[in-house]
Structure 1
């Protein structure tokens, strides 16, 4: 059985060490790209996994690797968004994301003995089409947000959100109609 690299473990959502030299180099490469992009001297297609047509990300923008981010057509991210993309983060066509939104695919073990080993893992975040995420919202690891959903500003999304549902609060809960 072949030994899997820390990057292969990371991409599979398994425990991995972020201190691995290959991952450290990937993060350094991403930081260099972000510096260019945020200075408006780089393109999204240079680093991201996929970029649809008419995509706008207003700088500053921050991410871990970039290559795990997949954006549909007409996606908009406002200023100061953070995407921790240790595994796939997929954002569907027509989704609009407000300023200061944080999307976390990175997670950490709950067991303190495992956490002491500085291991982490990821859980994919999938955001559907035509979603609106209000400013300052936080999307936690492993969350799926259905098409046409609305996430209220400042919400902390701790559970999946069904298509067409509006949620708000901390933790985010469906609003009464």
Structure 2
């Protein structure tokens, strides 16, 4: 029996993102995202029911503004009192864990997938996914981008527009592209 692309993705190996099973999972996420983004705020609440059911785990008091986008949803965990402002995108090909009391500004993007550097293999849909972990009491300013495999430590601040390519130490403030520690 050959290993499924979904299992390869979950194991952090090279997988083909053009796989029918992964297409089906992304379609399920698109439907939940659409529900979240189109429900009136008083009906949606802090998180539309379909999106809440899709996520791996979400605290009852986590809040996701609309519009929001994710690729799978099933790999997203939101801690207590997490706040995602409007326009956040989480491409969760791998686990994305966001700790309690963390706030993401508008337009923050989290990317877990890395496409193959070889153009021929990239055309075939080969990519790998690395998890992203964001600690507790973190603030990510508007337009910040967190790349695959990054851990942002507790109490850290990511400045608006920063592109985070490496781990951020607890309590550090990073700014710029690529993000660097502000002294």
For the aligned pair, the TM-score class normalised by the smaller chain equals over 0.9
The residue matched to 1:114 in structure 2 has which SS? helix
Deviating 4+ runs (over 6 angstroms): none
Give the Cα–Cα distance (whole angstroms) in 2 for the partners of residues 130 and 67 of structure 1.
23
Partner of 1:26: 25
Shift of 1:151: 0.2
Is the aligned partner of 1:161 residue 2:160? no
Count of aligned pairs between the two proteins: 175
Alignment of 1:1-177 (within 5 A): 2-40=1-39, 41=44, 42-43=48-49, 44-176=51-183
Mean CA deviation greater in 110-119 or 96-105: 110-119
- Residue 124 of structure 1 deviates from its aligned partner by 0.4
**Is 131-140 or 4-13 further displaced after alignment?**
4-13
Distance 1:116 1:27 in 2: 19
TM-score normalized by the length of structure 1: 0.95
Residue ranges of structure 1 left out of the alignment (5+ in a row) = none
Q: Following the alignment from structure 2 to structure 1, what is the Cα–Cα distance between the partners of residues 98 and 162?
A: 18
- Note the aligned Cα RMSD (angstroms): 1.1
- Can you give the 5+ residue segments of structure 2 that lack an aligned partner in the other structure? none
Looking at structure 2, the residues matched to 111 and 165 of structure 1 have their Cα atoms a distance apart, in angstroms, of: 35
Q: SS state of the match for residue 126, structure 1?
A: strand
Say which SS state the counterpart of residue 155 (structure 2) adopts.
coil
TM-score by length of 2: 0.92
- CA distance in 2 between counterparts of 1:62 and 1:12 reads 23
Residues in 2 aligned to 1:19 and 1:135: alpha-carbon distance in whole angstroms: 31
